[in-house]
Amino acid sequence: MPPFNLETCARPNILALQPYRCARDDYKDNGTNILLDANENAYGPSLSATAAAAADTDVDLLGLNRYPDPHQRDLKQLLCTLRNTHAHTPKTLTPDHLFVGVGSDEAIDALLRCFCVPGRDRILVCPPTYGMYSVSAQVNDVALVKVPLLPAPDFALDVDAISDTLSSAENNIKLVYLCSPGNPPGSLLSKSDVERLLAHPTWNGVIILDEAYIDFAPEDASLAELVTEHPNLVVMQTLSKAFGMAGIRLGAAFAAPPIARLLNNLKAPYNISSPTSTLATSALGGDGLATMRRNRAAIVRQRDRLIAELPKVEGIGRLRGGTASNFLLYEVLDAQGRPDNATAQAVYERLAESQGVVVRFRGNEHGCLGCLRITVGTEDEVTRFLEAITKVLAEVRGLQEPDGGAA
């Protein structure tokens, strides 16, 4: 077993924290109680009759004058049911394994506050990766240690280099943030690589696996249920991507109950709004899951279409990374056929400014020279994108002299 010890890994002030409590921690609203405990407005939300009727058409959102359920156990159970595939372990996730927050970003920040002493401790990230890990670390005065992913096209973990870095006590690394499928590479990390890091023989810290795009990966790819086996693993997920619910800002962190308890202790009271909870519950129900799966299938068809059609466009280079997400990372080539940031930047700007098509320039990320990240849209959006990038690439490359410079 790895030497993980929550009592010495988490910050002492967080271990000793007495969480905010309300009367509804003791007496949940059963629909008939007279609620005179939380200084709410008993007359209801300040909505016109028309607005109230519109809000109540599909889902019940009119309990807005009451604070939401502070524990969200019913919602947590739906998330557990979704991930209890038993593809990786016979053990079962329960609501005690969950923290739910305002998007995955709240979990990213909460973990930093839970484990990292400002000005002393560090986190490890593997570029190219999601930018909020470093932003949240800087906000919390926590330094970064970077161990890049192995080169494209695989963008796999450099397990030996990460392990060696974790072995050095002077680094004061408490957390490792890993993204699978990666953003921007779109590659799924190897389960065996993750498990090797979880079993590090001397490091006392937590591995955080960000699975924001996991529903676009092959079936049973999620490692969420492995938190029942590993006390030093946290798996983050979100309803923003495959579920198409980015606007409600609902994220989840699966963890062993002692870590989940700490995260729940330090969160703000009532952090998940009633509308968010209601909509998330609907999305995770039978009809919602069926809709998600239909939409996901449509996205995968358009992803396959882009993989087939983009290489035929003059000036598009290699696919870098994987295809386990709802985006693709492609090189843009200059007139000499070389991956080139200036060309990619120009294409990015012209696509938006002259064609109304917005993608993401990623050329400044480690190992992503000359790359654009393209989100998979609807059939019509993909058609429009393919027409637009064909036109814009011809224009941009036509302005370049034979040596690659501007005409």
Instruction: Give the pLDDT confidence score for residue 170 in this predicted structure.
Output: 87
350/385 same-domain check = yes
Specify whether 145 is located in the same domain as 239.
yes
pLDDT tens digit sequence for 36-48: 878 887 877 777 7
Instruction: Say which residue the tokens 């030996």 belong to.
Output: 160
Can you give 231-269 as a three-state secondary structure string?
A: CCEEEEEECCCCCCCHHHCEEEEEECHHHHHHHHHHCCC
Residue 62 confidence (pLDDT): 59
Cβ neighbour number for residue 354 with a 10 Å cutoff: 12
Q: Does any domain span residue 78?
A: yes
Lowest mean pLDDT among 15-29, 192-206, 347-361: 15-29
Same-domain status, 344 and 303: yes
405 inside domain? no
For 348, the domain range is 289-398
Question: How many Cα atoms are found within 13 Å in the side-chain-facing hemisphere of 91?
Answer: 13
Q: Is 34 left (phi over 0), alpha (psi -120 to 50) or beta?
A: beta
Mean pLDDT of 177-192: 97
pLDDT of 56 higher than 60? no
Q: Do 314 and 260 sit in the same domain of this protein?
A: no
- Spatial distance between the Cα atoms of 395 and 46, rounded to a whole number of angstroms: 54
Q: How far apart are CA 219 and CA 208, in angstroms?
A: 21
CATH at residue 179: 3.40.640.10
165 has pLDDT over 70: yes
Same domain, residue pair 295 and 361: yes
pLDDT at 315 over 60: yes
pTM equals 0.93
- Among 284, 301, 330, where does a domain finish? 284
175 plus 227 within the same structural domain: yes
**Does position 201 have pLDDT exceeding 90, yes or no?**
yes
Q: Which of 259, 284, 309 marks a domain boundary?
A: 284
d(CA 176, CA 108): 11
d(C-alpha 136, C-alpha 249), whole Å: 17
**Tell me, what's the pLDDT at 281?**
95
Residues 334 and 368 in one domain: yes
Average pLDDT over residues 329-343: 97
Residue 177 lies in a domain: yes
Integer angstrom CA distances of residue 297 from 196, 243, 302, 378: 33, 12, 9, 11
For the chain, what is the domain count?
2
| pLDDT at residue 407 in the model | 47
Given a cut of 80, whether residue 24 has pLDDT beyond it is: no
How many C-beta atoms lie closer than 10 Å to residue 139's C-beta? Answer: 13
pLDDT in tens, 268-279: 989 999 999 999
Asked if 231 and 302 sit in the same domain, the reply is no
Query: Which pLDDT value is given to residue 156?
Result: 97
Between 37 and 180, the more confident residue is 180
Average pLDDT over residues 45-60: 64
Pick from 284, 311, 327: which residue ends a domain? 284
Q: Is the pLDDT of residue 52 over 70?
A: no
Q: What's residue 183's pLDDT?
A: 97
Same domain, 153 and 17: yes
Please tell me what DSSP assigns to residue 333: B
Task: Tell me: do 128 and 180 sit in the same domain.
Answer: yes
The band of 83, judged by pLDDT with boundaries at 50, 70 and 90, is: very high
- Whether 299 is in a domain gets the answer yes
